[in-house]
Amino acid sequence: MLVLRSGLTRALAARTLAPQVCSSLATGPRQYDGTFYEFRTYYLKPSKMNQFLENTKKNIHLRTAHSELVGYWSVEFGGTMNKVFHIWKYDNFAHRTEVRKALAKDKEWQEQYLIPNLALIDKQESEITYLVPWCKLEKPPKEGVYELATFQMKPGGPALWGDPFKRAVHTHVNRGYTKLVGVFHAEYGVLNRVHVLWWNESADSRAAGRHQSHEDPRVVAAVRESVNYLVSQQNMLLLPTSFSPLK
């Protein structure tokens, strides 16, 4: 009887522990919301930047008739010059497929925007991202400038670096050094990449907040913790176009 009870106890313990073992192997919180954000970057011919933006401003309504534009910016500092960056929102992958099919049949879009602008573009890039579970997309209170900070994290996913990264972001926000617009985790593109979109009133106010944060012990401590999981980082200063929903 003692042997039977011992065996039963071990079996029950194994069944109890099994889900914990499996959950420890997860790379991060499950993505329940199908909504995702496509980051699109266009590298333009240096002499064609203004022409591209004017044609886009004139005809962007033809594109937004099919899906939601979150924001559209020109790159002021950081990386390659003569570059535009825009974010599009989709309900799920089926929704994006439907949108692309509709655009392929939209003659007005093709003739007035796509065909004229293709000759002005050197290269295009696309990346699919999700908002991280602890963040929602925020709209800034007024017009300003944006910073897209991109962090290449060590392999392992949010289960490895998610909490320290979250603490570093929230420390900056809670101290009032900048305003958070959104935190995005790459699904297609370079993996283990996180983008943080910040808003500031101006490039100078952004610089002032950054200098102050470097002297804040709470920010410094949070950043030191998160950099243990960091491979590299880069950023861009973005200027919203006149037709960008996010100003």
Kindly give, in sequence order, each residue whose CB lies less than 8 Å from that of residue 18, ignoring residues fewer than 6 positions away: none
Asked whether residue 210 carries a pLDDT value surpassing 90, the answer given is no
Kindly give, in sequence order, each residue whose CB lies less than 8 Å from that of residue 46, ignoring residues fewer than 6 positions away: 81, 82
Q: What are the CA-CA distances from residue 7 to residues 4, 12, 21, 58, 176 (Å)?
A: 5, 9, 20, 75, 58
Domain 36-240, classified CATH 3.30.1050.10, yes or no: no
Kindly give, in sequence order, each residue whose CB lies less than 8 Å from that of residue 124, ignoring residues fewer than 6 positions away: 40, 41, 42, 43
Tokens of 123: 């290269």
Query: Which 8-state DSSP code applies to residue 207?
Result: H
135: nearest Cα among 157, 160, 158, 154: 158
Give the pLDDT score at 19. Answer: 38
pTM of the model: 0.84
Which residue is it, tokens 């696309």? 126
Q: What are the CA-CA distances from residue 168 to residues 197, 230, 245 (Å)?
A: 14, 12, 28
Output 63 or 215, whichever has higher pLDDT: 63
SS3 128: strand
Provide the terminal-to-terminal Cα distance of the chain, rounded to the nearest Å.
74
Q: pLDDT, tens digit, for every residue of 164-199?
A: 899 999 888 888 888 999 999 999 999 999 999 999
How far is residue 56's CA from residue 58's CA, in Å, rounded to a whole number?
A: 5
Asked whether residue 20 carries a pLDDT value surpassing 70, the answer given is no
Q: pLDDT, tens digit, for every residue of 3-15?
A: 434 444 444 344 4
Q: pLDDT, tens digit, for every residue of 56-80?
A: 999 999 999 999 999 999 999 998 8
How far is residue 97's CA from residue 8's CA, in Å, rounded to a whole number?
A: 52
Give the pLDDT score at 30. Answer: 54
Give the pLDDT score at 80. Answer: 87
Average pLDDT, the chain: 87
With cut-offs at 50, 70 and 90, classify the pLDDT of residue 103: very high
With cut-offs at 50, 70 and 90, classify the pLDDT of residue 157: confident
Tokens of 169: 């972001």
134: nearest Cα among 247, 221, 24, 33: 33
Q: Where are the domains of the chain?
A: 36-240
Give the pLDDT score at 194. Answer: 96
Kindly give, in sequence order, each residue whose CB lies less than 8 Å from that of residue 183, ignoring residues fewer than 6 positions away: 131, 132, 134, 135, 169, 194, 195, 196, 197
Give the pLDDT score at 1. Answer: 39
Give the pLDDT score at 220. Answer: 86
